[in-house]
A and B are shown apart, each in its own frame.
Chain A
Amino acid sequence: ETGVTQSPTHLIKTRGQQVTLRCSSQSGHNTVSWYQQALGQGPQFIFQYYREEENGRGNFPPRFSGLQFPNYSSELNVNALELDDSALYLCASSLGGQGFIRTYGYTFGSGTRLTVV
């Protein structure tokens, strides 16, 4: 059983640019959540995708958007990058519904470290 893989591992972008981060979910998982973790902070929920639709969103502006594909992999897109977007972006996959409880929640990837200069 493969875990969650994220790409790229590191990325440097210029303010105002756009970025796409990718996540392959764990085999058998149908839900993907994205988190932003600023240095020295806990992860902050961005949004969640379940069966290819966004079904929950945290306090992030619309320039943060995403997709989930039929194989349950996912992308996080950020437009008009700002310096404060510099962070570790974590993807977590899980089963929906009661499966979330039985499997104790998320399986996380190692993250993409984004630096905006």
Chain B
Amino acid sequence: AQKITQTQPGMFVQEKEAVTLDCTYDTSDPSYGLFWYKQPSSGEMIFLIYQGSYDQQNATEGRYSLNFQKARKSANLVISASQLGDSAMYFCAMREGLKAGGYQKVTFGTGTKLQVIP
């Protein structure tokens, strides 16, 4: 079974509009963390936002917010007031509980390509 599922291969959004990128996850670990990364064409993965499984409130970072619905195992990224520079690949990722010896594997989804239209 896929650990991280991103069902939207591509999305279009008008500049200045909000957009939601979907992410569902699968884990039996009670302690986990969810990340969103942005990957422009240059290749670097840029951290956007983090949500811990025990966090009571949804994470927000500037124009980014994470709509965390624990019972549904979803962690959708909301980008408000889209800008042309937001055009990129977006990856949802999950870290499951810290393993013995400090092993910290992070599992990524297949990504959503967002294109912002002027």
Q: Which residues of A pack against B, CB within 8 Å?
A: 31, 33, 35, 41-45, 48, 50, 55-56, 58, 88, 90, 92, 94, 96-98, 100-101, 104-111, 113
User: What are 21 A-to-B residue pairs whose CB atoms are below 8 Å?
Assistant: A33-B104, A42-B91, A42-B108, A42-B111, A44-B108, A45-B105, A56-B99, A56-B101, A88-B43, A90-B45, A100-B95, A101-B52, A104-B35, A104-B47, A104-B50, A105-B104, A107-B47, A108-B45, A108-B46, A109-B44, A110-B43
Given A42-B109, A101-B98, A105-B106, 9 new contacts (CB under 8 A): A31-B102, A48-B103, A50-B103, A56-B101, A90-B45, A100-B104, A101-B52, A104-B47, A106-B47
Q: Which residue of A lies closest to B110 (CB)?
A: A42
Rounded to whole Å, the gap between the CB of B27 and the closest CB of chain A is: 15
In the assembled complex, which residues on chain B have CB atoms less than 8 Å from the CB atom of A41?
110-111
B42 at the interface (CB under 8 A from A): yes
Q: Which residue of B lies closest to A4 (CB)?
A: B44
Those of B7-44 within 8 Å (CB) of chain A: 33, 35, 37, 42-44
B58 at the interface (CB under 8 A from A): no
- Contact in complex: A92, B105 (CB < 8 Å): no
In the assembled complex, which residues on chain A have CB atoms less than 8 Å from the CB atom of B103?
48, 50, 55-56
B107 at the interface (CB under 8 A from A): yes
Residue from B4, B43, B108 within 8 A of A113 (CB atoms): B43
Q: How far is the CA of A113 from the CA of B42 in the complex (A)?
A: 11
Ranked nearest first, the 6 interchain pairs of A and B with the lowest CB-CB distance are: A42-B108, A56-B103, A108-B45, A96-B102, A110-B44, A111-B43
Q: How far is the CA of A41 from the CA of B98 in the complex (A)?
A: 25
- Contact in complex: B101, A55 (CB < 8 Å): yes
- Contact in complex: B102, A97 (CB < 8 Å): yes
